[in-house]
Amino acid sequence: MSDDPQEGAPEGLSEHAVPQADEALLEDLRDVVHRLDPVPEEALLAARSTLAYLRLDAQLAQLTFDSLTDAPLVGVRSQTEVGRRLGFTADDNEVEVQVVAEGSQRRLIGQCVPADEVELTVTHQGPAHAGPSDASRTETVTDDLGRFVVEVAQGVISLRCRWPSTGRVVETAWVRL
């Protein structure tokens, strides 16, 4: 199949051959959209700056549970009381977090598993339209069971756990709180 379906009528798709009038209308729309709804420059700046968060030595811990989307509906009400629960997994390593909202602040109560004294870094970015410079890192050490309590402002966060005993490092997927 052609990689470029908009170039005339690509083979294999001839039954969907695009009338020239459609092509022209789409072309007009493209121009209009580019003129009337361009990508804001500050959004592009923020996008370019995200490469700074490339993992160098850590494994990605994927979001495997989010009570906001995975919990049964009956849990919705209690969510504001108990907080949102998140689970991240990278092989045998897990990061569990409970998020308690207090105004625009978010208290993260969590644990890095396996339980051990773990070096924790929370990377936080505020609302995107505030610009790319609004990012911060909080470093702390958990108790000897991997437990922690950290406060961050509303925004998007990633947690990094390093187990000194094994040298393992994981970083969680970004999650918006």
Residues in contact with 131: Cβ distance below 8 Å, sequence separation at least 6, in sequence order: 42, 45, 46
Q: Which is nearer to other proteins, 145 or 173 (CB)?
A: 173
Q: Which is nearer to other proteins, 53 or 144 (CB)?
A: 53
Residues in contact with 28: Cβ distance below 8 Å, sequence separation at least 6, in sequence order: none
Per-residue b or e along 49-72, where b marks 16 or more CB atoms closer than 10 Å to that residue's CB: eeeeeeeeebeebebeeebbeeee
Q: Which is nearer to other proteins, 27 or 144 (CB)?
A: 27
- For other proteins, the binding residue among 109, 128, 145, 153 (CB under 8 A) is 128
Which positions from 40 through 99 interact with other proteins, judged by CB under 8 A?
A: 40, 42-44, 46-48, 50-51, 53-56, 60, 68-69, 76
E strands present in the chain: 59-66, 84-90, 93-102, 105-113, 119-125, 135-141, 147-153, 156-163, 168-172, 175-176
Which positions from 6 through 45 interact with other proteins, judged by CB under 8 A?
A: 6-7, 10, 13, 15-18, 22, 25-40, 42-44
Which spans of this chain sit near other proteins (rule: CB under 8 A)? Answer: 1-7, 10, 13, 15-18, 22, 25-40, 42-44, 46-48, 50-51, 53-56, 60, 68-69, 76, 125, 127-129, 156, 173-174, 176
